[in-house]
Amino acid sequence: MYLSLIAGQSSFESDTIITSGGDLGITFISHGSLRFDYQQKIIYVDPCSRFADYSGLPKADLILITHHHFDHLDSALISQLSKSSTQIVGTTLVAESLPGVTIMTNGDTLTTVGRIPIRAVPAYNLIHQRDSGGPFHPKGEDNGYVITFSDTKVYVASDTENIPEMIELTDIHIAFLPMNLPYTMTPEMVVDAVSKFHPKILYPYHTGDTDIQVLIDLLSDVKDCEVRVRALQ
């Protein structure tokens, strides 16, 4: 399934992943925003114009929204990226402000456009709390997604900590894990997450001001997980 780095599209970096069903292109847009190109289908995750210019990017066949926070749900941009056949998937809270969404809750599975299976998995805080009380991301509200591209499973974790449910993830080839403190994980939490489900490739994303080198150093002795750093602050 491994990989070659290709020149970025516009100002964005991209990687190509070789799968049994053809090449999977991953474009690293910014923050929590990603684009996947597979079998002539365009998939966006959490597109947000606050962090990037989407004007030169193609319209979507599928848009996955992990949760309703402003840096993940951009209704105007979703409209801009959509065509009549675009499928939009999100949570119950996403659907409250974005009509026509296909709702998925934790544990749901769905075969989407292009017969690409996705599974919604939990994403929530265990420790980090708002000053006013309560977690930034309560259990049961938000989704991470496992997207299966032929023989290659990609886990986009969304805003989460190293929750116990991660141990149930199996055969994850590529993982996107967040380190945007205080809302998501510390580098140490990411290391624990990696120990739970052993992804072959880890892309730290949604990293904020976290020092990624700390994570790289902590994982330096983990031989079965390659850390790939891209522009995903």
**pLDDT value at residue 21:** 97
**pLDDT value at residue 202:** 98
Q: Helix or strand or coil: residue 125?
A: coil
Return the closest-CA partner of residue 107 out of 96, 123, 94: 123
Q: Which two tokens stand for residue 62?
A: 């599928």
Cα-to-chain-centroid distance, residue 218? 22
Q: For the chain, what are the domain ranges?
A: 4-227
Mean pLDDT (the chain) is 92
Give Dmax over CA atoms of the chain in angstroms: 49
How many other CB atoms sit within 10 Å of the CB of residue 144?
28
Assigned CATH topology for domain 4-227: Metallo-beta-lactamase; Chain A (3.60.15)
**pLDDT value at residue 178:** 97
Peptide bond into 182 cis (omega under 30): yes
Task: Provide the β-strand partners of residue 109.
Answer: 119
- H or E segment and range at residue 23: strand 22-30
**pLDDT value at residue 133:** 80
- How many residues belong to the chain? 233
- The structure's pTM equals 0.94
**Residue ranges of the chain whose pLDDT lies below 70:** 1-10
**pLDDT value at residue 179:** 94
Q: Write the single-letter amino acid at 104.
A: M
**First-to-final CA distance of the chain:** 26
Close Cβ partners of 135 (under 8 Å, ≥ 6 residues apart): 124, 125, 126, 128, 129
